[in-house]
Structure 1
């Protein structure tokens, strides 16, 4: 996926890039490569411009948390996502963003009411490769 995005100049935004083990790896790399620069505001500007100028937007939201919220947050300023797929194992009962259903995003204007939308409840390490294979067969 990363290779195809790079090859086709598809930007990847990681809003929580310094979180967890990946952030630790970046920090360790930075100890010996002080020229490493990460510009989160540049990513925010790009997302703002992409959503502002898009005729339609869609998101495949794998899991929850900051990455999920980032996608739906920026899209509320254009009236919501036109297409939306949630891949999740999170439950709604605890009130977490990760477990929030698409209908909640619709109520906030983050996903359009008439959007083509689907929630896939299950482990993304299983569901995403199946979805990817199905999409690839149709291209």
Structure 2
């Protein structure tokens, strides 16, 4: 079959563009179309649960509202996130911002109270507000609870946020669980450690496993949508070993496979561990998730409307 070359036409819709990628069927274009169609089918199917994992700087990188809207519209059913993405959601919930790079030297940035994530800046003043506000939330939670699982803890934080653009708040309001197995490795974890130096409060990582396993067992089918790799990707896949693996998966990554890391591993490798079922529908899209995921979501939602 011949490659059908792309044609950009005036006033074409996002769905028409994705259809052309699908008809071309080659290289990155074909993978983007595959991921778009798979996400659309998964969102539409009432028997399929969509597990979204967030690694890397997805929230400071511009995806905060997209994730928030997917949660608010109940188009994802469960989130597994790095602690950093939760932290950056809260930074904005407390009035802070993320800023575009101006190309300053990193030592100059340090002197001016700025931190850098690639070409994204954060300001120390915003983190000072974060520290003050999160300590207040810890204290309020601690009035009711002496011990919580990580998922329960994030849920309680979400109930206490006054920002409708926060995906943590939207998840709490819509009863969509957020798991963050690496939450100690972020500013939330550091502030929690500081809080627990003179307060009686325990955060249980093992406490999440019963609820997460229940979510897996109750799901007829699971589609995992994984942005980046690392711990969130592994936690997403490993949790589904309990039922023989995910039924479908979308991975968007810039990592390579040669080093043997999970972040760069092709999804097909997950079949050998029963983290993905035999015959599962899997697609790995190589590229920047902050660019590709909005395109895939836009195409999927446009397809659903038709």
Same-fold call, TM > 0.5?
yes
CA distance in 1, matches of 2:201, 2:299: 38
Which structure has more RCO (C-alpha within 8 Å, separation ≥ 6)? 2
* Matched residue, 2:265: 100
Instruction: Give the superposition deviation at 1:68.
Output: 0.6
Structure 1 stretches of 4+ with a deviation exceeding 6 A read none
| 1:33 to 1:55, Cα distance in 2 relative to 1, 3 A | farther
RMSD (Å), alpha carbons = 2.2
Taking the TM superposition and a 5 Å limit, the aligned residue runs for 1:67-106 are 67-106=232-271
- Aligned with 1:51: secondary structure? helix
**Taking structure 2 as the reference length, what is the TM-score of the superposition?**
0.41
1:80-100 CA distance string (max 9 Å, x none):
101211111110000111111
* Matched residue, 1:133: 298
* Matched residue, 2:177: 11
**Taking structure 1 as the reference length, what is the TM-score of the superposition?**
0.84
- Aligned with 1:19: secondary structure? coil
Instruction: Give the superposition deviation at 1:31.
Output: 6.3
CA distance in 2, matches of 1:122, 1:33: 45
Verify: 1:62 aligned to 2:243, yes or no. Answer: no
Higher Cα Rg, which structure: 2
1:7-62 CA distance string (max 9 Å, x none):
3211011111111445335445x269946653322222111111122211121111
Runs of 5+ consecutive residues of structure 1 not aligned to the other structure: none
